[in-house]
Structure 1
């Protein structure tokens, strides 16, 4: 009985690790990728969008902060931008109030809010129509470097370590190299 209770608690705690931040759950949003936006979605200004990506530029305005964001696909459950996904395009998000632009540059973000009409701008010398999200909720993510060992490397290490001869790959001086990956928290 205690074993099942422990497993239940462990499963619940692990699901908490992958749930989206409050207000960014996926259910109320009709638009979750830039490719889903249709021309008629701008007319009503009532469509809810949940988008994310890397902040390219931030500008402090009088009563809000304007962000230009390179759109990336976001995780269905955690709402984190997927670092290895392909770029969807760009969009503009307006955050309520003042947020220091220096703090936002090159950060990752997920925004949720109402989709409003497109805003014309330029990317270098090319004209571009940016979809605009009037943000109600957002989450800034921290990019963290993590070192890890591939399980296959450890299998090779332990198999070679206990070899019969005790030299070469079986030498205690050989260790697998840690690998580097990036995660958002």
Structure 2
């Protein structure tokens, strides 16, 4: 391949992995609950981009309140990383009505303004929830994918079509099918 084609190809492919509109990473000062400090609540003007799994949703008069189990988000696509450990919880307020039944147990990324802290409870424990006034959000869909590990396919081809001199040859052996989840 010619060298002058590599750069345009890289630019074209990098455009495929971009955050939804309003969730671009350059605008936000806070992208993790661990980055929030007490001084950030004073001005009520800090921009945040957080994501996670919706634990509960409640429809209020002119807005919808979400309690979200925070997960780290990917830098470019803004998707929550579902395999990672949580770093806390936060409350997000969406303008307008969103059906709570359709939001519960879904994954979401929100962008907005850090407003204040709210003292609540998680079971019997006291907890300080950061409150986010949402300006943009993306609800992600969870998909199941079945796949084979590359090494398993290599072993299968070698056992199936390789030399008969190996003791492990078995015409009925198949690679193990694996399951993973991804957001889209």
TM-score by shorter chain over 0.5: yes
Partner of 1:18: 17
d(CA) in 2 for partners of 1:41, 1:108: 26
Question: What secondary structure sits across from 1:137 in the alignment?
Answer: strand
CA distance in 2, matches of 1:136, 1:28: 12
Q: Can you list the C-alpha shifts for 1:50-69, whole angstroms capped at 9, x where unaligned?
A: 00000000000000000000
The residue matched to 2:152 in structure 1 has which SS?
helix
* Preserved contact between residue 146 and residue 180 of structure 1 (Cα < 8 Å): yes
Query: Unpaired runs of 5+ in structure 2?
Result: none
Aligned to 1:49: 48
In structure 2, distance between residues paired with 1:2 and 1:150: 32
Q: How does 1:94-105 map to 2 (within 5 A)?
A: 94-105=93-104
Residue 120 of structure 2: aligned partner: 121
**Would the aligned equivalents of 1:161 and 1:169 in 2 still touch at CA under 8 Å?**
no
Report the CA distance between 1:112 and its aligned residue. Answer: 0.1
Q: Distance in 2 between matches of 1:179 and 1:22?
A: 33
User: Hey, what does 2:144 align to over in structure 1?
Assistant: 145
Residue correspondences, number: 184
Deviation at 1:14, TM superposition (A): 3.0
Render the CA deviation track for 1:8-51: whole Å, top value 9, x for unaligned: 66544532332111110111100101111111111100000000
Residue 133 of structure 2 corresponds to 134
Per the TM alignment, residue 75 of structure 1 is displaced from its structure 2 partner at its CA by 0.5
Q: Which residues of structure 1 form unaligned runs of 5+?
A: none
Matched, 1:32 2:40: no
Q: Match of 1:74?
A: 73
Pair 1:182–1:13, CA change in 2 (3 A) = farther
CA shift digits 1:141-179 (9 cap, x unpaired): 011110111000011111111233399743442210111
Q: What is the aligned-residue RMSD (CA, Å)?
A: 2.0
Q: TM-score by structure 1 length?
A: 0.91
- Deviation string 1:58-108 (CA, Å, 9 cap, x unpaired) is 000000000000001110111000112111100000011000000000000
